[in-house]
Amino acid sequence: MFNVLIVDDDSMVAELNRLFISRVADFRCCGIASTLAEAEQMLNHVPAIDLILLDVYMQRENGLDLLPILRTSARSIDAIMITSAADAATVQTAMRYGVG
């Protein structure tokens, strides 16, 4: 079973992602964070996070700011970037941290 944390400030998008995950065999949503602070708190308190669906362009934050925290963590957690970014710099930054 893969436990997925959704990080998105748009509650409708987060819920759609949660519904999608609930229909995929061997995947379950273990939490939804609407801010990077909430995501970081969940990373510190939810032991079974295997994957993060990460919104890049949130209203007041940039999801890319969570990537250094993930990479310096003792845990190995993969991330998938959710974005409509068309600029190469955003994509290159995410790829530098190993995000797919």
Task: Output 38 or 46, whichever has higher pLDDT.
Answer: 38
pLDDT at 72: 79
Q: How confident is the model at residue 96 (pLDDT cuts 50, 70, 90)?
A: confident
Round the average pLDDT of the chain to a whole number and report it: 88
Burial class (CB in 10 A: 0-12, 13-18, 19+), 96: exposed
With a CB cutoff of 8 Å and minimum separation 6, the contacts of 4 are 21, 27, 28, 29, 30, 49, 50, 51, 52, 53
pLDDT at 86: 65
Class of domain 2-96: alpha beta
DSSP assignment of 84-97 equals ----HHHHHHHHHT
Among left, alpha and beta (phi > 0; psi -120 to 50; other), residue 38 is: alpha
Task: Output 90 or 65, whichever has higher pLDDT.
Answer: 65
Main-chain dihedrals φ then ψ at residue 73, nearest 5 degrees: -70, 150
pLDDT digits (tens, 9 = 90+) for 17-28: 999 999 999 999
DSSP assignment of 34-45 equals SSHHHHHHHHHH
